[in-house]
Copies of this chain bind each other. A is one copy, B any other.
Amino acid sequence: MKPVEGRKRVIIEDIEPQVNCGRYPSKRILGDSVSVTAAIFADGHDHVAGRLLFRHEKDRATPSTAIVPLTNDLWSAAFVVDKPGMWHYTLEAWIDHFGTWHADLKKRLAAQENAATDSDSTSQDIPLALRTGAVLLGEAAARAKGADAKLLAKTQATVEQMADQRTNPDGDEFDRLIEIVNRYPDLNFATRYDQKLPLWVDRERARFSTWYELFPRSASTDPSRHGTFADVEALVPEIAAMGFDVLYLPPIHPIGEAFRKGPNNNVVASPGDPGSPWAIGSKDGGHTAIHQQLGTSADFEHLVSIARAHDMELALDIAFQCSPDHPWVTEHPDWFVKRPDGSIQYAENPPKKYQDIYPLNFESPDWRALWQALHDVFDYWIRQGVQIFRVDNPHTKALPFWEWCISEIHKKDPGVIFLAEAFTRPHVMYSLAKAGFTQSYTYFTWRNTGAELQQYFEEITKPPITNFFRPNLWPNTPDILHATLQNGGRAGFMQRVILAATLGANYGIYGPAFELGENRPAKHGSEEYLNSEKYEIRRWDRSANHSLAPLISRLNQIRRENPALQSDGSLHFHPVDNPHILCYSKRSADNLLLVAINLDPVQEQAGWIDLDLKHLGIGHGQSFDVEDLLTGIHYHWHGRSNYVALRPEVLPAHVFRVTPESGGDATKLTAVPAQAETTE
């Protein structure tokens, strides 16, 4: 069957960015210039022209911008996303008959100039070509508006006159008209790409955030008393001063009594054991209630406001699972799996049993009500002032639920940030991000050698992954005390936090366990903490001399002062002749940072870095100053090979800011085009 219009000769394909053929939105940040590329071409030798159309879903207008050719039939255009929320974009292109005519005219004029003899047949060429151009101008004038229409009509008359008078135009005379004519294409023959590709725009914190996790119940300065929101409030100035901007609390809901776990995950709890905050729900309520020992709803709102006063946001941990005492267990037994004996199925990973946890059943016949209730949990806390959620084990809840739930929340409030705490297989990790999670935990914890780190970060900081996935790096969590921390001593902690803070624009620590160097595992070979705060209240001496707080504060200050560290797309690795040393750079406009880190927690390591000067925008003969922002010491470097020696027990890394030296013929770094996915 023939198409409705067979004269749409232009083909548009391979549009980037797109995620799964447009099935999921790409992601960008408010203020980003979104660069869109595509292969656009037609049969024959005619020129093509086209435009990128883009629209925020709540806007009426669909602005457009002309595409410009790159190379090899690739075209590009960009638009700035000046509102958070859902955008769509697509491309439209057509044969540029006027541009084709104009290029041919120039060739005809040049040929006539070069011709030895002005044969009779050739002498007809230019006037005839001018008449053809006049027709095209007349058609464009009819489609055009205002001053453009007048200009085109006037030019049409001029060109007809030239043809009558056999006057030759100047070849470049019509150059600027091409763009004007293409503002008014004959869209009957234009090809519109058959999809409007979705693009989700988050606020800036989605790209750059620094998280501090603590257990409120351990926040009391009085060892005999359960910590409260008020105790956390008292810590806010200190944590803010360390440079964190997200204060993240494990679940704050009533904790179940049934099968409550004792210290160190003991299956029997003693009276007075506080239980795990992830065993959610009791007679006092479920996911929208507050554990009474922490405070009231008013106390919580006050904590939110105090955090905000210190330029921090409060993030809540949302764990969609229930203790046997959760109100939903009796109110909605259909939301759980029932066993043949009529009991409710607790969490299991045979032979392990988690009898204090009932998973929700996403195959429930009452799934619609279940989805709504879970959605309403987020909604409730948003109304309490929370805009950031860390979601516990999202990979054990149905992916279609997340896609619906996050999209519903985002319709009302596009500023809400969801961090996916999923440590599972790559496809599932990425699928959660595609389903809408703003940021994601990563395998960073288990990437320890230089080769492992480079391979992994080259994957997760470049397209196509960066179109939908934003890493958030954690050296530790209440669930994960990696062997590098157990065995690496103070150097190990320094290494991991420097890596996290400089490899990832988003990172966080679980404190004060981290800065105080807590490194005792539950048992040999385990990644669980001994005396984990998950099961008991801990008292921390935040003012201990050995605290890494000063280093962390300095790192966070460097992050705030250096835009290069506030996005990930520019990450680039530089070879070092010692595999224990990892070297990488990040840049943003003229802010260029270079990190060299010794990954050996014991031995001093030294080596020669082979800097990719071209990538850094440094000339081969250029000298440059590198200032270690951790120590304030300046070094004078020159050329690609530069030597570093790093003693892990002192400071395992240089975090250099690179500045070209004045003199010579280079006074500033060569500008390198910023990647589309980063904001400058």
Contacts and interface: CB of A to CB of B under 8 A. Distances in A.
Interface of A: 1-3, 6-9, 11, 13-14, 20-23, 39, 41-45, 72-73, 95, 104, 107-108, 110-111, 128, 131-132, 134-135, 189, 339-341, 348-351, 362-363, 367-368, 371, 395-401, 404, 425-428, 431
Contacts of A404: 1-3, 6
A399 B340 contact: no
Contact of A350 (B108, B348, B351): B108
A135 B9 contact: no
Contacts of A396: 43-45
Interface of A is mostly: mixed
Contact of A108 (B45, B351, B363): B351
A400 B189 contact: no
Contact of A371 (B6, B363, B398): B6
A420 to B, nearest CB: 12
A368 B425 contact: no
Nearest to A404: B2
Given A339-B128, A340-B132, A6 B368 contact: yes
B367 A6 contact: yes
B427 A39 contact: yes
A350 B431 CA distance: 53
B107 A350 contact: yes
B351 A111 contact: yes
A638 to B, nearest CB: 35
Contacts of A341: 128, 131
B45 A363 contact: no
Contacts of A339: 128, 131-132
A8 B403 CA distance: 13
Interface centre among A13, A43, A45, A104, by most B CB within 10 Å? Answer: A43
A74 B11 CA distance: 32
Given A340-B131, A350-B107, A350-B108, A11 B363 contact: no
The 8 closest A-B pairs by CB, nearest first: A111-B351, A21-B21, A131-B340, A107-B350, A73-B427, A44-B396, A9-B398, A104-B350
A9 B351 contact: no
A389 B83 CA distance: 55
B43 A399 contact: yes
Nearest to A44: B396
A425 B72 contact: yes
A6 B128 contact: no
B44 A395 contact: yes
A13 to B, nearest CB: 6
Contacts of A20: 13-14
A459 B1 CA distance: 34
Contacts of A431: 11, 13, 41
A42 B371 contact: no
Contacts of A39: 427
Nearest to A191: B400
Contacts of A6: 362, 367-368, 371, 398, 400-401, 404
User: Which residue of A2, A110, A371 has the most chain B CB atoms within 10 A of its CB atom?
Assistant: A2
Contacts of A426: 72-73
Contacts of A107: 350-351
Most buried by B among A41, A95, A341: A41
A42 B9 contact: no
A149 to B, nearest CB: 22
Given A44-B397, A45-B396, 20 more contacts: A1-B404, A7-B367, A11-B427, A11-B431, A13-B431, A41-B425, A41-B427, A42-B399, A43-B396, A44-B396, A72-B426, A72-B427, A73-B425, A73-B428, A104-B350, A107-B350, A111-B350, A128-B341, A131-B341, A132-B340
